[in-house]
Amino acid sequence: MKQRDSQKWFWPNIEDEEQLKEIQLQGLKWTVSHAYNNSPFYKKRFEDASIKPEDIKSLDDLKYLPFTTADDLRDGYPMPLLSVPENKVVRIHSSSGTTGKRKILCYTQNDIKDWITFFARCYDLAGVGPGDKVQIAVGYGLWTAGISFQTACEAVGAMAIPIGPGNLDMQCQFLVDLKPNVICCTASMALLLSEEVHRRGIQDKINVKKIIQGSERCSDAMRRAILENFNAEELFDITGLTELYGPGAGIDCPYHEGIHYWADYYILEILNPETLEPVGEGEIGEMVVTTLKKEAAPLIRYRTRDLTRAISGRCKCGLIFPRHDRILGRSDDMFIFRGVNIYPGQIDEILSMVEGVSSEYNIILERQAGKDYMTINIERDPMGDPVWDDEIEDKISLMIKKEIMVSAEVRIVDHGTLPRSQKKSKRLFDKRNDK
Ligand code: ZN
């Protein structure tokens, strides 16, 4: 570890990859036996799979463990996976499922401490500490985001401005009056707020240098727009999901060559979402996580549905912690069009390479006379001239044909005409089974 890291309370002293693996093995053994002995849900799952805690002898044995899914959390409502007596639970959080019941997750005191510890590493990697002012524009209350961004911010000694999401007027006022140099929000909110800053012409009255944004896929074009509108210097991607504590599970370092994740707190597998076998080196797959220290609601091979790929080798920053790529979409969002598996992140990547269009687009799938059609609506760049629309449309169609091997109808629309959202923007509209 680097000198700087080991001096701070939230960085562990881990010498090399071997030591990290040993920590993982101990954590895995503990988790499996903790879950087996204290959770009726896990006990039954293990018994159905004919697995006993003592069968886990190496990290390689992870592959024999059964998967856990979002459905399991809903079936066990309200306290699924509970593995401690209820009086050890000091907090709950909840996320709205896109379908059906909410997911409720619970935390012991140790879980909360662990969460703050690794979240503090995220701020530290982003260079946030004493003297920094952090505008926290994410959801509070039942959501995991607000409180974790705030407690970790205070824990590293920075000033928290807990403003919450929405309310662009107040956001802008605080940006001008208190001059925070860091803002934390979702990518959609970052775009919305940065466009508002730009629209109001207050760029020279604010001081946003860094954006820490989470929980959403964000194209390079969207990143550029956010940085330019804020006149900011750096953008960090923070990962996390409610089931895995919440935000703070990983972040990119100043080299921005992938997201470091806290492998002393969880094991990450990247698996083919259909076969559930490991993908080849560097291939895209679903993130499957197993926690190593979580007490109240441990996760064992939890299918996150998030897609990414592993990045091999040690990062230039020297940090021992491994990396994965940005979140490239959700395996649920993966759609099959004329026999080809496509995820929206692939479309993002292509659109990001084209000049004259903005980051905002949507994909519409329709069926006519038994045949599938794809239309991609994309906003013209605010400075763009409609005279180039035809040419750009053709160019994008051609690139999609070449990269993804499908045909799509591309339409450029006026800037600002596609719906914006402060939460996650919906990109895909599949109307193929609509009447
Ligand atoms: Zn790094």
Q: What is the pLDDT of residues 390-406, one digit of tens each?
A: 999 999 999 999 988 89
Both 205 and 85 in one domain: the answer is: yes
Q: What's the pLDDT score for residue 218?
A: 80
Residue 152 lies in a domain: yes
| Ligand 1 midpoint to CA 323 (Å) | 8
Q: What is the mean pLDDT of the chain?
A: 92
Calpha distance 204→233 (Å, rounded): 14
Both 355 and 262 in one domain: the answer is: no
Say yes or no to pLDDT of 117 above 90: yes
Residue 279 lies in a domain: yes
**Beta bridge partner(s), residue 211:** 183, 235
Residue 324 lies in a domain: yes
Across residues 233-260, what is the average pLDDT?
Answer: 96
| Ligand 1 midpoint to CA 237 (Å) | 13
Residue 377 lies in a domain: yes
Both 253 and 371 in one domain: the answer is: no
| Ligand 1 midpoint to CA 417 (Å) | 38
Across residues 109-121, what is the average pLDDT?
Answer: 98
| Ligand 1 midpoint to CA 267 (Å) | 18
Say yes or no to pLDDT of 291 above 70: yes
Label residue 2 by pLDDT band (50, 70, 90): very low
| Ligand 1 midpoint to CA 147 (Å) | 26
At 171, which CATH number? 3.40.50.12780
Both 207 and 269 in one domain: the answer is: yes
Q: What's the pLDDT score for residue 4?
A: 47
Tell me the residue type at 2: K
Higher pLDDT pick, 260 / 331: 260
| Ligand 1 midpoint to CA 116 (Å) | 20
- What residues have CB less than 8 Å from 313, skipping those under 6 apart? none
Exposure string of 85-100, with b = 16+ CB inside 10 Å and e = fewer, is eeebbeeebbbeeeee
Of 95-109, 231-245, 343-357, the least confident: 95-109
Both 160 and 269 in one domain: the answer is: yes
3-state class (DSSP) for residue 244:
helix
Decide: 171 and 202 in contact? Cβ < 8 Å: no
Calpha distance 239→245 (Å, rounded): 11
| Ligand 1 midpoint to CA 318 (Å) | 6
Closest CA to 155 of 41, 261, 9, 326: 9
| Ligand 1 midpoint to CA 249 (Å) | 15
3-state class (DSSP) for residue 357:
strand
Burial of 414 (0-12, 13-18, 19+ CB in 10 A): exposed
Both 206 and 353 in one domain: the answer is: no
Quick count: other Cβ atoms within 10 Å of Cβ 216? 17
Distances (CA, A) of 265 to 131, 241, 244, 249: 29, 14, 10, 9
Q: What's the pLDDT score for residue 424?
A: 66
| Ligand 1 midpoint to CA 260 (Å) | 7
| Ligand 1 midpoint to CA 262 (Å) | 12
Of 227-231, 247-251, 324-328, the least confident: 324-328
| Ligand 1 midpoint to CA 170 (Å) | 35
Q: Name the DSSP class of 68.
A: B
Q: Which of 331, 346, 365 is the last residue of a domain?
A: 331
Both 108 and 17 in one domain: the answer is: yes
Across residues 5-20, what is the average pLDDT?
Answer: 89
At 426, which CATH number? 3.30.300.30
| Ligand 1 midpoint to CA 382 (Å) | 34
Total domains in the fold of the chain: 2
Domain carrying residue 170: 1-331
| Ligand 1 midpoint to CA 47 (Å) | 41
Terminal CA-CA length for the chain? 59
What radius of gyration do the chain's Cα atoms show? 22
| Ligand 1 midpoint to CA 34 (Å) | 33
| Ligand 1 midpoint to CA 424 (Å) | 27
- Residue 12: asked if its preceding bond is cis (omega within 30°), the reply is no
Report the share of the chain in percent with pLDDT over 70: 96
| Ligand 1 midpoint to CA 250 (Å) | 11
Label residue 341 by pLDDT band (50, 70, 90): confident
Residue 342 lies in a domain: yes
Token look-up 């000033």 returns 159
Both 130 and 191 in one domain: the answer is: yes
Q: How many CA atoms lie within 13 A of 145 on its CB side?
A: 22
Decide: 285 and 309 in contact? Cβ < 8 Å: yes
Q: What is the pLDDT of residues 35-53, one digit of tens each?
A: 999 999 999 999 999 999 9
Q: What's the pLDDT score for residue 3?
A: 40
Predicted TM-score (pTM) above 0.75 = yes
Quick count: other Cβ atoms within 10 Å of Cβ 314? 13
Residue 435 lies in a domain: no
3-state class (DSSP) for residue 159:
strand
| Ligand 1 midpoint to CA 83 (Å) | 34
| Ligand 1 midpoint to CA 317 (Å) | 4
Say yes or no to pLDDT of 203 above 60: yes
Decide: 434 and 400 in contact? Cβ < 8 Å: no
Say yes or no to pLDDT of 24 above 90: yes
Q: What is the pLDDT of residues 346-399, one digit of tens each?
A: 888 888 888 899 888 999 999 999 899 999 999 999 888 999 999 999 999 999
Q: What's the pLDDT score for residue 98?
A: 54
Closest CA to 80 of 98, 47, 102: 102
| Ligand 1 midpoint to CA 335 (Å) | 33
DSSP of 20-34, one letter per residue? HHHHHHHHHHHHHHH
Higher pLDDT pick, 349 / 311: 311
Both 282 and 357 in one domain: the answer is: no
| Ligand 1 midpoint to CA 125 (Å) | 8
Both 256 and 345 in one domain: the answer is: no
| Ligand 1 midpoint to CA 402 (Å) | 33
| Ligand 1 midpoint to CA 325 (Å) | 12
Q: Name the DSSP class of 426.
A: P
- What residues have CB less than 8 Å from 7, skipping those under 6 apart? none
What does the H/E/C string look like for 103-158? EEEEECHHHHHHHHHHHHHHHHHCCCCCCCEEEECCCCCCCCHHHHHHHHHHHCCC
| Ligand 1 midpoint to CA 294 (Å) | 25
Both 240 and 379 in one domain: the answer is: no
3-state class (DSSP) for residue 41:
helix
Q: Phi-psi category of 289—alpha, beta or left, where left has phi over 0 and alpha has psi -120 to 50?
A: beta
Q: Which of 262, 297, 331 is the last residue of a domain?
A: 331
Decide: 418 and 377 in contact? Cβ < 8 Å: yes
Residue 155 lies in a domain: yes
Both 243 and 376 in one domain: the answer is: no
Helix (H) or strand (E) holding 70: helix 70-75
| Ligand 1 midpoint to CA 11 (Å) | 14
| Ligand 1 midpoint to CA 251 (Å) | 9
Decide: 51 and 65 in contact? Cβ < 8 Å: yes
| Ligand 1 midpoint to CA 314 (Å) | 8
Residue 326 lies in a domain: yes
Across residues 72-85, what is the average pLDDT?
Answer: 90
| Ligand 1 midpoint to CA 64 (Å) | 32
Q: What's the pLDDT score for residue 1?
A: 40
| Ligand 1 midpoint to CA 7 (Å) | 18
Q: What's the pLDDT score for residue 282?
A: 86
Strands 259-261 and 323-324: antiparallel
| Ligand 1 midpoint to CA 235 (Å) | 14
Decide: 217 and 227 in contact? Cβ < 8 Å: no
Q: Which of 297, 331, 365 is the last residue of a domain?
A: 331
| Ligand 1 midpoint to CA 219 (Å) | 20
Q: What is the pLDDT of residues 127-167, one digit of tens each?
A: 999 999 999 999 999 999 999 999 999 999 999 999 999 89
- What residues have CB less than 8 Å from 325, skipping those under 6 apart? 258, 259, 308, 309, 310, 311
